[in-house]
């Protein structure tokens, strides 16, 4: 074998693939690259324009991956905030009732929504359901002397934080005792601290809501943004949250909420605004959700509630991400294909244009494979440069998107090297044919070429 390869070298017999790779030493490669840079630099504008296809291909891959990844991360974050083992029921003002109350300018009490009875029913009929968190939501101003913040007041139970993956930042959440005793304590969301207590710790201080004072006992961690799903569409989402014991809320606010709206009073009676149900076993979430749905359907004649199953949302988000990835992959493939064809086109033109140079090099001792390598290196340099520019742009774009559009973007560590690698492969694949064509030219013909 060695002997035949030796003779392939000296006698010039076709050595095949092995001989080809043996003949590529790093010195030659680096020289070919320097020469390629020179040739490409001679036609700067043309090279730049050729490279654009690859640049946009690569940068769109990275940028779109980053945006998709960020969106999916955000969605998953929001869903996990709701708790993947949870089923959430919310009171909803029935649409037909709303019309009636809008027509009649007289005030009357509109009664709808979830009730304590619902909790009892669920607890009794559905197995595998563990904790049930009832919530009441009120909109009001929270005062600290002269400072005021528009806030959503949540009346709830002590185990709310663990159910909603919402951590206490300092102080404590209220306890069963607070619930039993109907104490006037509250826990503030960290978001409202700058507006309410800009200078000092709120813990131990009192805030005023309406005519009642509440002692601040704890602060909840800030949440990036209110999750749309959590807030629902019925109440305009409030960034600020304050928590008080459910019993305290019922005592203070009763069951009738009165809203004043453009001249007419509107009163609604809602026992519970929200019920969070935890299913003990994650596998059973969907089944339990079905059962609860049937139960609710049976007992609520009007559709005055809505049901959210975060696990279903999670699965949906995963599906969406898959579809997004397929679409993205196709777009990337098409744009890189177009970029590759651009490179092939320009390389064919270059080969024709430099026919005479090929002839000269052949006369001076270049072998076919030397010529092939020269043009292949140029094609890969083109696509590689495009790849690098594309990676830079692809990293910059998500940065601007997050900065100016406020969308979360995540550049996964593997996406830039992958995009760059693909661009280099595109260069070698589409550069191969022009390179072979160059190498197979007849030296005499090439030298005669004008």
Partner 1 sequence: MSNAILECCDVRKTYQMGPVTVNALRGVSFAIHEGDFVSIMGPSGCGKSTLLNLLGCLDRPSTGRYLLGGDDVSQLEDDALSAIRGTRLGFIFQSYNLIQQLSVVENIEVPLYYQGRPEAESRERAIELATRVGLAQRLDHRPFELSGGQQQRVAIARALVNDPLVILADEPTGNLDSSSGEEILKLFTDLNRLGKTLIMVTHDPDTAQICSRGIRLRDGVVESDSRR
Q: According to CB under 8 A, which residues from 17 to 36 bind partner 1?
A: 25, 27-28, 31, 35
| Residue found by looking up tokens 């095949």 in the block | 16
Q: According to CB under 8 A, which residues from 259 to 288 bind partner 1?
A: none
The nearer residue to partner 1, 10 or 103, going by C-beta atoms, is 10
The nearer residue to partner 1, 306 or 370, going by C-beta atoms, is 370
The nearer residue to partner 1, 288 or 358, going by C-beta atoms, is 358
Q: Are strands 147-156 and 241-245 parallel, antiparallel or unpaired?
A: parallel
Angle subtended by helix axes 368-400 and 44-82, to nearest 10: 40
Token pair of 446 as six digits = 């090439």
Q: Is 33 exposed, middle or buried (0-12, 13-18, 19+ CB in 10 A)?
A: middle
CB of 34 to partner 1, least distance (A): 10
CB of 340 to partner 1, least distance (A): 25
Q: Which residues touch 131 (CB under 8 Å, ≥6 apart)?
A: 159, 163, 276, 277, 278
CA atoms within 13 A on the CB side of 442: 4
How many residues lie near partner 1 (CB under 8 A)?
31
Q: Cα–Cα distance between 154 and 230 in angstroms, integer?
A: 13
User: Measured on CA atoms in the order 391, 393, 399, 401, is the torsion positive or negative?
Assistant: negative
Task: Tell me if 11 contacts partner 1 by CB under 8 A.
Answer: yes
CA angle at residue 213 from 209 to 216, to 5 degrees? Answer: 100
Pick the binder of partner 1 from 127, 211, 263, 365 (CB under 8 A): 365
Q: Cα–Cα distance between 128 and 317 in angstroms, integer?
A: 26
Task: Tell me if 367 contacts partner 1 by CB under 8 A.
Answer: yes
The nearer residue to partner 1, 164 or 354, going by C-beta atoms, is 354
Query: Which of 280, 151, 270 has the alpha carbon at shortest distance from 220?
Result: 151
Give the x-and-dash track for 344-363 against partner 1 (CB under 8 A): ------------xx-xxxxx
The nearer residue to partner 1, 396 or 444, going by C-beta atoms, is 444
Task: Tell me if 199 contacts partner 1 by CB under 8 A.
Answer: no
Give, as one character, the DSSP assignment of residue 221.
Answer: P
Pick the binder of partner 1 from 128, 247, 370, 436 (CB under 8 A): 370
Task: Tell me if 447 contacts partner 1 by CB under 8 A.
Answer: yes
Task: Tell me if 139 contacts partner 1 by CB under 8 A.
Answer: no
CB of 15 to partner 1, least distance (A): 8
CB of 13 to partner 1, least distance (A): 6
CB of 426 to partner 1, least distance (A): 25
Write out the residues near partner 1 by the rule CB under 8 A: 10-15, 25, 27-28, 31, 35, 38-39, 42, 356-357, 359-370, 443-444, 447
């Amino acid at each position: 074998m060695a002997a035949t390869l030796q003779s392939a070298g000296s006698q010039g017999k076709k050595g095949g693939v092995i001989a080809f790779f043996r003949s590529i030493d790093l010195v030659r490669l680096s020289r070919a690259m320097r020469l390629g840079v020179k040739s490409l630099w001679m036609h700067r504008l043309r090279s730049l324009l050729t490279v654009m296809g690859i640049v946009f291909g690569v940068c769109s891959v990275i940028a779109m991956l980053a945006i998709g990844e960020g969106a999916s991360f955000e969605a998953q974050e929001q869903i996990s905030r709701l708790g993947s083992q949870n089923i959430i029921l919310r009171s909803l003002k029935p649409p037909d009732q709303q019309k009636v109350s809008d027509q009649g300018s007289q005030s009357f009490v509109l009664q709808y929504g979830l009730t304590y009875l619902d909790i009892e029913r669920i607890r009794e009929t559905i197995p595998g359901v563990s904790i049930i968190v009832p919530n009441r939501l009120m909109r009001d101003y929270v005062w600290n002397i002269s400072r005021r913040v528009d806030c959503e007041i949540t009346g709830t139970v002590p185990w709310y934080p663990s159910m909603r993956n919402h951590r206490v930042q300092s102080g404590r959440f209220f306890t069963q005792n607070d619930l039993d005793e109907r104490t006037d304590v509250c826990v503030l969301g960290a978001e409202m601290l700058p507006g309410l207590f800009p200078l000092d710790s709120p813990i131990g201080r009192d805030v005023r809501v309406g005519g009642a004072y509440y002692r601040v006992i704890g602060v909840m961690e800030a949440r990036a943004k209110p999750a749309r799903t959590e807030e629902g569409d019925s109440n305009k989402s409030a960034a600020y949250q304050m928590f008080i014991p459910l019993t305290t809320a019922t005592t203070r606010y009763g069951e009738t909420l009165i809203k004043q709206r453009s001249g007419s009073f509107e009163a609604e009676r809602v026992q519970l605004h929200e019920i969070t149900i935890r299913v003990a076993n994650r596998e059973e979430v969907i089944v339990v959700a079905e059962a609860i749905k049937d139960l609710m359907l049976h007992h609520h004649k009007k559709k005055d509630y809505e049901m959210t199953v975060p696990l279903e949302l999670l699965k949906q988000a995963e599906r969406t991400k898959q579809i997004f990835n397929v679409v993205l992959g196709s777009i990337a493939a098409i744009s890189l294909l177009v970029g590759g064809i651009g490179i092939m086109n320009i390389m064919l033109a270059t080969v024709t244009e430099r026919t005479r140079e090929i002839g000269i090099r052949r006369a001076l001792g270049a072998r076919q494979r030397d010529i092939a390598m020269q043009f292949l290196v140029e094609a890969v340099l083109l696509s590689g440069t495009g790849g690098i520019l594309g990676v830079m742009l692809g990293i910059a774009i998500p940065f601007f998107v997050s900065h100016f559009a406020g969308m979360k973007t995540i550049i996964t560590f593997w996406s830039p090297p992958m995009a760059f690698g693909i661009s280099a492969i595109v260069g070698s694949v589409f550069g191969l044919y022009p390179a072979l064509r160059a190498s197979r030219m007849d030296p005499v013909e090439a030298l005669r070429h004008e």
